[in-house]
Amino acid sequence: MPVNIRGRHFLKLLDYTPAEIRYLLDTAKGFKQMKRNGVPHRYLEGKNIVLLFEKTSTRTRCAFEVAGRDLGMGVTYLDPGSSQMGKKESLADTARVLGRMFDGIEYRGFDQSIVDDLAKYAGVPVWNGLTDQFHPTQMLADLMTIEEKLGKLKGVNFTYMGDARNNTGNSLMVACAKMGLNFTACSPKELFPAPELVETAKAIAAENGCTITLTSDVEAGTRGADVIYTDIWVSMGEPDEVWAERIRLLQPYQVNAAAMANAAPGAIFMHCLPSFHDTKTTIGADIAKKFGINEMEVTDQVFESAQSVVFDEAENRMHTIKAVMYATLC
Ligand code: CP
Ligand code: NVA
């Protein structure tokens, strides 16, 4: 059956079928080829999009901006301080105003209900650029990168180490279940994904011939993995007070040489970025001073190793976001 997602929102991967995700990945592959070969693709000339960011960003913002311009669109960026949203104007009113001017709206911020509400009122496609619960555009880049590096998605053994109930952990579990990768969350029990989401993912995985496993055993969780993935231990929007507890819980789940050595031969290391793999950031330096650790979720050695594909992953944010905008606006 031909896939058509024109006019759809992109709020979370749970809303998309494997065939629709496959279509987005194939579309992204085509755009990457065109970009590499210098072939113009201004297919959305004359359209305009707005990017609403209530949290900071490097990759997501730049990916939407460059992808939007490559497609020929006008791009407007609104940061938290420069719009009326929330302070003087309700979300519903903001959505209805923006929907009258723009052809598509990207939102990065807090609760998933905010992006869901924007979608309800905007009347144009709304794309989730990260909420507290989900980060769906990141997933497309991750799947694209795995396929490029390992030549397949189905049957890949994927291990996520760290805070498995954050936006990235939740989304990776769903992405793997949809596309046939065996997903293992390797983290302390306190940071396992919510039971309802695990049950949903398990049901989807069963349909797609793959498995969902939760373990707190690092040796078992990393054994034979084709992909080891991690994310920062404290996410945007969480209070500084959680650092001490998070470090205590997650230090055993750091991606280091031992974890990579226990993985499959040819395993790759992935991270959505930004990453605390040294003390060259203000937060990294501050944590080093307070807690005496120079690396957090991944060692500098693994981050800089030949197994690390993090910058290919970052580049693929742009190609995949371009595919989402094209497919929903064309
Ligand atoms: N991975 C990711 O979303 O990066 P940014 O926070 O820089 O957008
Ligand atoms: N879990 C991280 C992802 C950043 C891309 C955060 O929400 O801060």
Over the stretch 134-157, which tens digit does the pLDDT of each residue have?
Answer: 999 999 999 999 999 999 999 999
Q: Is the CB of 164 under 6 A from ligand 2?
A: no
Q: How far is CA 100 from CA 105, 131, 258, 267, in A?
A: 11, 24, 54, 48
Calculate how far, in angstroms, residue 161's C-alpha sits from the geometric centre of ligand 1. Answer: 18
Identity of residue 68: G
What is the DSSP code string of 80-130? GGGS-BTTTB-HHHHHHHHHHH-SEEEEE-S-HHHHHHHHHHHSS-EEES-
3-state secondary structure of 299: coil
- Is 311 a residue whose pLDDT tops 80? yes
**Nearest ligand, measured from the Cα of 51:** 1
Q: Is the CB of 171 under 6 A from ligand 2?
A: no
222 compared with 2, residue with greater pLDDT: 222
Positions annotated as catalytic residues are 108, 135, 138, 231, 272, 317
Nearest CA to ligand 1 atom 7: 58
3-state secondary structure of 227: strand
- Is 227 a residue whose pLDDT tops 80? yes
- Is 165 a residue whose pLDDT tops 80? yes
Mutation probe of ligand 1 site: the residue of 58, 139, 313, 320 with most atoms within 8 A of C-beta: 58
Q: How far is CA 217 from CA 147, 177, 196, in A?
A: 27, 21, 22
Contact 16, 124 (CB under 8 A): no
Q: Is the CB of 232 under 6 A from ligand 2?
A: yes
Over the stretch 38-96, which tens digit does the pLDDT of each residue have?
Answer: 999 999 999 999 999 999 999 999 999 999 999 999 999 998 788 888 888 988 899 89
